[in-house]
Amino acid sequence: MKTKIKFVNHASVEIKCGDTSFLCDPWYEGDAFNGGWNLLLENKPSEIENLLQKINYIWISHEHPDHFSIKFFKTYKNLILKNNIHILFQKTKDKRVINYLNSNGFITKEVPFNTKIQIAPLIDITLFKDGFYDSALLIRYGEEKVLNLNDCEINTIQKASDIYRYTGDVDVFLTQFSYAAWKGGIDNLKWRQNAAKDKISTIRMQSEIFKPKYVIPFASYVYFSNELNFYLNDSANTPRKVYDALNGSHTKIVVLKPLESLDESHTNYEENVVFWDKIYSNVNSLKKITYKKIELEEIQENYITYKNRIKRNNNIYLMLFVNKLRIFNAFNPVRILIEDLNVTVLLDIFADDLKVTTSKPDLKMPSASLQCLLKNSFGFDTLTVNGCFEETRKNGFTDSAKTLAIENLNNLGIRFSPQLFFNLSAIKTFVSRLSAVKRKMAYN
């Protein structure tokens, strides 16, 4: 192949097409998702500095911090600007990422979906949207094609076929190989086990649709690193599980070490699998993050920030109308047990403050998780990924999500207003995801 692919870390690869190089989703150090994830291995700054000397474009697949790392852009800003590296990001309504990058002086380009963009002679790219946030990248270099699916949940034949109509057969595709979010709480082992098996089945299906010569499993080289979510590591897929399950099929499974490139003369990746076996066998000895306690007074202040943000970005009167008519049971108060404060509060987005209550909670979480939820518009999304909470009653999570997920829509540039009812795709996606969660929950 003329196209050269180097694995850097987690979801980050360099894709080199002649004199043009793309760096995907750089995250190389520090934690993510409010102290919920860490990399299994971190790169040395000198390695990244050397890498950036030959990069022309950085592509960010979506806003999640293991793909859009603020720390990376702060640390390497001067080098990125010095080397005239352009940042590529999907065209969104909210423009949060693009606006952040532009305000910090980076050279950016918004890329529309399903549109071939010519980058250089013989090189073009196409982005594909999936779900609320995710995007996939097709890079075509002459007759060669690389498809980077990263976190996209292309888990049905229909979804894969929809993208295949644009891509046709590809030479290489890269895809996430393990689950990456809360899976029903500590007692829901079956969901975690099934989620891991489903990922392998999905990779098998994807390879049958796209017919690549090589599959590079990636975007899962992390561990759940908080003392509250560490249990989620118990069923996570490893490169060994993927390699043993899929190697020997019509496509070749390529497991790479950090800073190693795909080499067509390399016929056996067993030694790389063994390398990762050793890393994963040491997970239980890796550092665990412990949250600091946040006092209730500070949480109350963050609630005011949260409430004002909701009012600013949505039609609060329409939300109240929908709540009173009990449409979809949306925007009901959420009872949250703050475990480290031993107090339950009532989060009512129509109230002036958080009320202490003796009612049975819907969810329980530490004060730091609640603070993150209230302080940041991405707080609920972060919570569902890092899993640093527990459901305390049947349907507690899905019921709470009908209130707390409002900012997931806002982060897409979608306000809760009359116009939302004409955006059936967003409503359908949200309802289907909640329904899937309810089906997979385990109750005694």
State residue 437's pLDDT score.
66
Q: Is the pLDDT of residue 254 over 90?
A: yes
Contact 374, 302 (CB under 8 A): yes
Lowest mean pLDDT among 81-90, 121-130, 208-217, 321-330: 321-330
Per DSSP, the three-state class of 252 is strand
- The amino acid present at 253, given as its one-letter code, is I
| Rounded Cα distance, 360 and 439, in Å | 23
Number of alpha carbons in the 13 Å side-chain half-sphere of residue 438? 14
**In this prediction, what percent of the chain has a pLDDT beyond 70?**
96
Contacts (Cβ under 8 Å, ≥6 apart) of 190: 442
Q: Residue 209: count other Cβ atoms within 10 Å of its Cβ.
A: 18
Q: Is the pLDDT of residue 31 over 50?
A: yes
- pLDDT-derived band of residue 227, with 50, 70 and 90 as boundaries? very high
Per DSSP, the three-state class of 403 is helix
The residues spanned by each domain of the chain are 3-285, 296-440
Place of tokens 């894709």: 15
Span 137-171, pLDDT tens digits: 999 999 999 999 999 999 999 999 999 999 999 99
* pLDDT average, residue stretch 17-37: 98
State residue 444's pLDDT score.
43
State residue 143's pLDDT score.
97
State residue 442's pLDDT score.
63
Contact 245, 200 (CB under 8 A): yes
This prediction has a pTM of 0.94
- pLDDT-derived band of residue 411, with 50, 70 and 90 as boundaries? confident
Highest mean pLDDT: which range of 61-70, 259-268, 406-415: 61-70
* Helices (H), ranges, 238-392: 239-246, 270-281, 296-313, 316-324, 367-375, 379-386
Q: Is the pLDDT of residue 172 over 60?
A: yes
Per DSSP, the three-state class of 345 is strand
* Backbone angle region of 260, left / alpha / beta, with phi > 0 → left and psi within -120 to 50 → alpha: beta
Per DSSP, the three-state class of 443 is coil
Contacts (Cβ under 8 Å, ≥6 apart) of 279: 40, 41
Q: Domain 3-285 falls in which CATH fold?
A: Metallo-beta-lactamase; Chain A (3.60.15)
Span 337-353, pLDDT tens digits: 999 999 999 999 999 99
Q: Is the pLDDT of residue 435 over 80?
A: no
State residue 434's pLDDT score.
61
Phi, psi of 237 (to 5 degrees): -70, 150
| Rounded Cα distance, 97 and 47, in Å | 26
* pLDDT average, residue stretch 405-421: 86
Lowest mean pLDDT among 52-61, 245-254, 419-428: 419-428
Q: Is the pLDDT of residue 418 over 90?
A: no
State residue 414's pLDDT score.
83
Please, what is the average pLDDT of the chain? 94
| Rounded Cα distance, 75 and 277, in Å | 31
State residue 212's pLDDT score.
96
Q: How many residues does the chain have?
A: 444
